[in-house]
Structure 1
Amino acid sequence: MSETYTNEIDCATTTAGEYPQTLRVRAHTLHADVGPEAGSVDSAPSPHDYFDAALASCKALTATWYAKRHDIPLERVATRVERDSHEERLGKYHLRVHLDFQGPLTDAQRETLRQVAAKCPIHKLMTQVTIDIETVA
């Protein structure tokens, strides 16, 4: 059985001997770092920040996608993710997502958008999918 890998992301150390990384995703350049507590300068979001940001952006984009297809007058979506990682090493990583749907929406439309955002693909990936990671040197 042949596996097909897509969506390559390249990452390389920005400056030799230092923590910051430069990532390339298609035509986009991103940066990652760790904070002073790990010995760096916090010059960019950490991998945990990107993980949490993926959830925030997916919920916003999913709600926007749904609203556009169902003529719901959603003007903006604001999300905020709060992280509780103090038990991460015990297998618990808790994220709380706050959603703010802006526009002339009814209560029913807001509830529908909340339900749709709760089913975004990244939420499902983080909670319902078995992920297999193969590290190749």
Structure 2
Amino acid sequence: MRPGFEQSWTDSMDPDGFQDLETPFSIDINQSEKYAITNGWITIRRILPAEMAHKLQEGQPLTLRSGSLSSVGYFYLNGQLIGHVGRADPYESAMGTYFLADIPAQFARTDRDEQILSIALYTRGDYPLSINAPMVELGT
């Protein structure tokens, strides 16, 4: 987890500036101050489990489902935007919305085993940032 958002963070596991989080985790309204996420961006990254990564590399799509979001969420695989809920600019809240989408198999990197799922979450301060468990579910 890292405060802020840069597109380059979505395709790299460089640990510079990132804090480790135990997963699964959720950020609720009571925890948002702990993570200093009351106004702005936070980026969360995970390496997909090997079984899921291999399915993508073999051409099988995966389905991604997030927990309920309090504001805005952008979802990436290996730096490629899968989709989003809400919008940062112009601001449009996705309060209470889940993200559900297929991850296209062509987003898989074949030049490496690691497949990086990144989630950029945003709030402009109207509501504390929250994402309720389960944070992310993957399936075929």
Q: TM-score range by the shorter chain?
A: under 0.3
Provide the TM-score with structure 2 as the length reference.
0.24
- State which structure, 1 or 2, has the greater radius of gyration over its C-alpha atoms: 1
More helix by proportion, 1 or 2? 1
**Highest RCO, 1 vs 2 (Cα 8 Å, sep ≥ 6):** 2
